[in-house]
Structures are given as C-alpha cells and as structure tokens.
C-alpha cells in the first residue's frame, strides 16, 4: 500500500512490523525444550538488541532521531540495529513544519519517517500543540484566529502522515510544575482557556482516526500535584468521551529528579483509567552502575504494566543528547554500549551474547567496543580461569580454559559472560565448565550453554551449536544471577569433552 502525500512523496507502508521477530521466537522456543535451558523471557536465545528484546514482550523500544545525523554511518547503523521505533526530536514541531502560517515544510520529518518505514519501525509523532518551539506568528493571533490556526495545524500535519504514525503527542507540557496543579500559561491556554485541549484532541481524532492520541509531559513520573492534575484531566476526558488513548511520561531523570519510588504505581493508575502509557523521552543523567540501575527500574516498571506499550530514549549517543554534559543515554560518544545499555537489554530479557562468539560487540554497527567493566565502575573479572581439572583425563593435546567477565551489576543481581577458549593443540568437539556459585546467589537465566550441577558445583556444557572449537577458537556463554554482590573474579574450570 502506498500513500501519495500531498507533496508528491510516495511512501511504502511497512507490511509487517514484527513478522521476522515472531518467527525467531517460535524457532527458539523449540530450542528451549531441546536443550532444557531456563529462559526468563520464554526464548532460549534471548534477543540481542533492544528493539527485538522489547518486541518479544510485545513492546517497542525507540529513540529520538535527528534528521541531520542520519547520514552518519555509525548513527544510522546503531539506530537500525538496536531500535524499532523513532520519534523525530525536533522535525515535527510547529516551528519546523509551519514556520509561516499555512506553509508547511515536511522535508526533514519526511526523511525520518521514510527511514523508519524502510526499517519497519514504529513512529511517534511529536508534537502538535506546545508552548515551546512555537513560531511568534502563532502567539500574536487573537483567540478566534488562534483556534482556527491550531485546528489547521493539527489537521494538516496529521493528514500528511495519515495512517503512518503509531501515536501522536497531541499536546505537550500543558501543566505547571509545583504544587498548583494548574495549567501552564501559553498562547493556547491564555487565549482559549482549558477547552483548547479537548478541541485539539477532537480535531486530531478526525484528522487521523488510526493514530493513538497522547498527552505528554515531564515531572508526572510519580504521584504528585502535577501528575494528579493530568490524571484528573484524563479521567474527565474518558468520562466525557473526549478522545484520548495514551499518556506519555517523558522520563528525564537526574539527581534532582530521580526515578520516583512510586513510578510503577503511577504508570498503573493512568493505565487503570483505560489509556496506554508510554515512556516517551527517557534519559538519565549520570554514569556507571547508578545510571544503569535507574534505567533498569524504568524498564522493569514499564514491563510490569501491561498497558505500558513501549519506551523511547531521548537520543542514541551521548554526544548528540540535548543534555550531552549529563551523558544520559545508552551509547557513549563513540557508540560504545554503556552499562546502562546492558542493564536495559537485560531488563528487557535480552542478552548481549546473542548466540555468537562475538558476544559483546555492538551488533556490528560501530566501534565494536566491549562494554561492562569499564563503564560500570564494577570490577571486570577478566582473566581468572582454570585449566582442565578433575573428572578423567582428556585426550592428549585437548584442553580448554574459561574466563569470567562481569558484564554489569545492579541492585540484587548481575550478569556474567564466560568465554571458553580451545587452548589445546587439537580440535574440541565439546566442553564442560564448572564453578562454585557464591552462596545465596542463584542463576536466573543462562544462555548459549546447558546448565547442570556436579558435586555441588554449577556446570555448563556446550550447547548443540557451540561445542566444536578449532585450536585457538573461543565461544561465549552468559548468565544472570539473582543476588549479590558479584564476585570480582571467579575460577571457572574447563574440561574438553
């Protein structure tokens, strides 16, 4: 199906968004039974990207995208490898699309929409009615004119993308901070009064009935005066049949505004009003474990709320973040995955090891830098390993060594990667590793190997597909532990089969 836009631009709509991922899940579910893996997410090979991991749970994982960076190879490659939804960071705002009254410019936004569609990504539209990034001609209109300019803006922009936008932020940041619960002053509020909001939502529904219509704001992450005011508005809209489908919680967190303790509860209370909730602009100032933990908390809260349909981070790389000094994103300035990345992926049920010996490279997309120890501030166990010990003598020349590496740690858990190296002089057709789990720490999920026990120790032997190792070759497996603290090193014995 192709829509010819009013501007002569044809776009091919994605036929299937998650087809290949669903197929993969079905195949790997079979593999679970075959090798008796314990899998939290229901797939043996946990997905190895943010988007695929979220999709396995029926959600999207998106990012804000700036059109002017799409030409940068690492930017586009990381976007395409990791994310399955986009939000144009600035390109759909009023000043970008209608700088002069009734003259619409969609070129930059179209670039993002076209890119996203070619990759089967969902698109969030951001944003239609907002006091900021608003051209001065709008502010100078009288009430009658302003209402018709607002309706025209919503109608023209939404029609241009009709059928192509998953959810629109119809209104953005319309409430004041602090305890008043009042509406924020804006040309719309000041000249049209509270009623402009439902006018905007009704106009939006008429313009594109298939798009979900969201109210989006910041500092509404916990239960507070501002979120109470938004809650009351949504409740009123639902009661009176004013069309609203979702609430977007921006999720800009820092030390002054950390993830609130009642975050999940707050998401749930909105969902209980009969709207979806989405985390729309997530970023967390900081670094290392603290940052990673905040990200995990947000992801886990969304996953725990069935109507939380997806999460979007506000940018790909720290270097292009709107708050780049806060290093708030999942990839550093060189597109290396940060501890926060691993925490999000793990929370989503994914795994960086992803079934290849490449293990922690970032999806072949960019620098290929490994993550874990360096950015978490946690100790990287690295080289501790043991040779072949116990349980019989392997054939001459055969041997393996196993090395422990702490990938990431968070409150109450951590993730380990074990690399198994054929350190002998003959090919290996199988291997078994063994180690002593720290007491009280249980393995929640192990992948790319088959878990067992022997003499009170934990064992993991090769899966069907990674037992054969040429001389000098290596493979990896991984596991997640419930409990802590993580050991700084761990002796893992390895024996050839």
Tell me which residues are annotated as active site: 173, 281
Evaluate whether 493 touches 388 at the Cβ level (below 8 Å): yes
Evaluate whether 115 touches 80 at the Cβ level (below 8 Å): no
What's phi and psi for 177, nearest 5 deg?
Answer: -75, 170
Please state, in angstroms and rounded to a whole number, the distance separating the CA atoms of residues 220 and 227: 4
Subset of residues 278 to 297 that bind ligand XIL, contact rule: CB under 6 A: 281
Q: What 3-state class would DSSP assign to 131?
A: coil
SS3 breakdown of the chain: % helix, strand, coil, rounded to 5? Answer: 30, 25, 45
Q: Residue 317's closest CA among 94, 116, 102, 64? A: 64
* CB-nearer residue toward ligand XIL: 328 or 424: 328
Subset of residues 224 to 253 that bind ligand XIL, contact rule: CB under 6 A: 250
* CB-nearer residue toward ligand XIL: 326 or 493: 326
What's phi and psi for 134, nearest 5 deg?
Answer: -115, 125
Tell whether residue 322 is a contact of ligand XIL (CB under 6 A).
Answer: yes
* CB-nearer residue toward ligand XIL: 66 or 211: 66
Q: How far is the CB of 218 from ligand XIL (least distance, A)?
A: 6
Please state, in angstroms and rounded to a whole number, the distance separating the CA atoms of residues 207 and 181: 30
Structure tokens at 168: 């629109």
For the chain, what is the largest distance between any 2 Cα atoms, rounded to a whole number of angstroms?
A: 90
What's phi and psi for 231, nearest 5 deg?
Answer: -60, -45
* CB-nearer residue toward ligand XIL: 331 or 479: 331
* CB-nearer residue toward ligand XIL: 55 or 313: 313
Evaluate whether 140 touches 185 at the Cβ level (below 8 Å): no
C-alpha dihedral over 304, 306, 308, 313, to 10 degrees? 50
Q: Residue 404's closest CA among 427, 433, 424? A: 433
* CB-nearer residue toward ligand XIL: 64 or 402: 64
What's phi and psi for 459, nearest 5 deg?
Answer: -125, 155
* CB-nearer residue toward ligand XIL: 63 or 250: 250
Q: How far is the CB of 89 from ligand XIL (least distance, A)?
A: 5
Subset of residues 64 to 103 that bind ligand XIL, contact rule: CB under 6 A: 89-90
Q: How far is the CB of 248 from ligand XIL (least distance, A)?
A: 9
Q: How far is the CB of 190 from ligand XIL (least distance, A)?
A: 20
Evaluate whether 354 touches 345 at the Cβ level (below 8 Å): no
**Angle between helix 195-207 and helix 143-160 axes, rounded to 10 deg:** 30
Burial class of 191 by CB neighbour count within 10 A (0 to 12, 13 to 18, 19+): middle
* CB-nearer residue toward ligand XIL: 172 or 227: 172
Please state, in angstroms and rounded to a whole number, the distance separating the CA atoms of residues 274 and 282: 23
Structure tokens at 336: 């290396």
CA dihedral sign of residues 316, 444, 251, 241: positive
Residue nearest to ligand XIL (CB): 322
What's phi and psi for 59, nearest 5 deg?
Answer: -125, 170
Contacts with ligand XIL by CB under 6 A: the residue count is 6
What's phi and psi for 284, nearest 5 deg?
Answer: -135, 115
Q: How far is the CB of 227 from ligand XIL (least distance, A)?
A: 16
Give the footprint of ligand XIL on this chain (CB under 6 A). 89-90, 172, 250, 281, 322
């Amino acid at each position: 199906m192709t829509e010819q836009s009013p501007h002569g631009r044809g776009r091919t709509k994605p036929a299937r968004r998650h087809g290949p991922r669903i197929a993969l899940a079905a195949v790997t579910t079979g593999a679970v039974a075959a090798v008796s893996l314990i899998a939290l997410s229901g797939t043996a090979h946990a997905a190895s990207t943010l988007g695929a991991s979220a999709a396995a749970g029926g959600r999207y994982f998106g990012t804000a995208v700036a059109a002017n960076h799409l030409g940068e190879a690492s930017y586009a490659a990381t976007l395409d490898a990791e994310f399955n939804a986009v939000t144009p960071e600035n390109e759909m705002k009023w000043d970008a699309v209608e700088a002069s009254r009734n003259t619409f410019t969609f070129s930059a936004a179209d670039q993002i929409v076209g890119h996203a569609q070619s990759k089967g990504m969902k698109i969030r539209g951001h944003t239609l009615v907002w006091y900021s990034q608003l051209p001065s001609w709008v502010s100078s209109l009288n009430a009658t004119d302003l209402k018709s300019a607002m309706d025209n803006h919503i109608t023209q922009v939404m029609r241009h993308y009709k059928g192509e936008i998953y959810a629109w932020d119809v209104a953005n940041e319309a409430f004041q901070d602090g305890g008043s619960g009042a509406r924020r002053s804006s040309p719309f509020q000041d000249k049209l009064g509270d009623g402009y909001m439902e006018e905007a939502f009704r106009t939006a529904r008429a313009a594109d009935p298939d798009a979900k219509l969201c109210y989006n704001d910041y500092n509404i992450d916990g239960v507070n005066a501002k979120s109470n005011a938004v809650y009351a508005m949504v409740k009123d809209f639902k009661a009176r049949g004013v069309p609203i489908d979702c609430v977007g919680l921006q999720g800009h967190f820092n030390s002054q505004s950390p993830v609130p303790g009642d975050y999940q509860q707050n998401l749930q209370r909105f969902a209980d009003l009969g709207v979806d909730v989405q985390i729309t602009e997530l970023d967390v100032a900081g670094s290392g474990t603290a940052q990673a933990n905040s990200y995990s908390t947000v992801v886990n809260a969304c996953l725990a709320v069935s109507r939380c349909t997806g999460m979007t981070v506000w940018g790909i790389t720290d270097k292009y973040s709107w708050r780049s000094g806060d290093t708030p994103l999942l990839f550093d300035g060189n597109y290396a995955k940060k501890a926060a990345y691993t925490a999000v992926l793990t929370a989503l049920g994914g795994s960086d090891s992803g079934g290849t010996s490449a293990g922690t490279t970032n999806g072949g997309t960019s620098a290929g830098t490994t993550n874990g120890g360096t950015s978490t501030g946690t100790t990287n166990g690295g080289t501790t390993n043991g040779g072949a010990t116990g349980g019989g003598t392997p054939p001459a020349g055969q041997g393996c060594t196993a090395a422990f590496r702490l990938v990431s740690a968070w409150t109450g858990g951590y993730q380990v990667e074990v690399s198994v190296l054929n350190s002998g002089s003959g090919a290996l057709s199988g291997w078994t590793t063994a180690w002593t789990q720290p007491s009280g720490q249980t393995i929640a999920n192990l992948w790319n190997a088959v878990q067992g026990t022997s003499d009170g120790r934990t064992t993991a032997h090769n899966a069907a597909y990674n037992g054969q190792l040429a001389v000098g070759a290596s493979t990896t497996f991984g596991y997640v532990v419930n409990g802590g603290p993580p050991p700084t090193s761990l002796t893992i014995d390895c024996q050839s089969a």
